[in-house]
Structure 1
Amino acid sequence: MTGSGSARAPRRRSARRSSARGSATRSTSAPREAAVVARVLPQVRDIRRIGSAAIDLCLVADGRLDAYYESGLNPWDMAAGSLVVAEAGGAVQGLDAGPASRAMTVAGPAALVDELAAALRRAGA
């Protein structure tokens, strides 16, 4: 991951990484989101929910979080957070390597974003 515009290696405490995830506000999507989390959790060190998409994305840009994903992200959070991640040298995309969208936003170092997006696809996100 990168911070302050220069590249640096992600902090590693184990072979698995920490990811943050957002939470859609629609209760009808909660069972599906829970199933995705249950399938992804064994592949990562931890999944955290901090509460603000913009802050989560800033923590990714700063290197305090390894990666981030969320469906249903508000456009203002996506715009602000994506800019910060991109300026720090990170990647922000959708599930299929296309642009991030309300359907799904995945952010982090480019290689890790691809890996997380693949895991999310396998999990049915």
Structure 2
Amino acid sequence: MGENLTELLEPLASQFRALNLPEALTHWGHPFFMSIVMFAMGGYGAYAGWKGRILTATDPKTAIESKSEHRKIMPAMFAFMAFGATGGVLSLVIQKHAVMSSPHFLTATLLLTFLTINSLISFTGFGG
């Protein structure tokens, strides 16, 4: 499957290679920007969700606002991460790395799996 994915993305990857971008940008650009998404959006979204749970008993209005912010930002973060995983695969093809056995691919798959499981749990109302 990795070879098929590489073959599919190779025409686009070769166009990026033709730009002769600096190696540091090619290697670290994608992880840098995805870490911003993960820490900024994920951190704020997690904080808003946590704040909503903690304040439920003491300040219901603020709790509702925090939960609302969490519900807005976390689906957007999931979408950015899913699209970012596609960009990560392209980045690996540009660098001529094996796609499916890459630690990057495995990390992204694990992250998206956990985010999917978490969202499925939330859709069940946390079992309650």
Q: Same fold (TM over 0.5)?
A: no
More strand by share: 1
TM-score of the superposed pair, with normalisation by structure 1: 0.25
More helix by share: 2
Question: Which has more radius of gyration?
Answer: 2
TM-score of the superposed pair, with normalisation by structure 2: 0.25
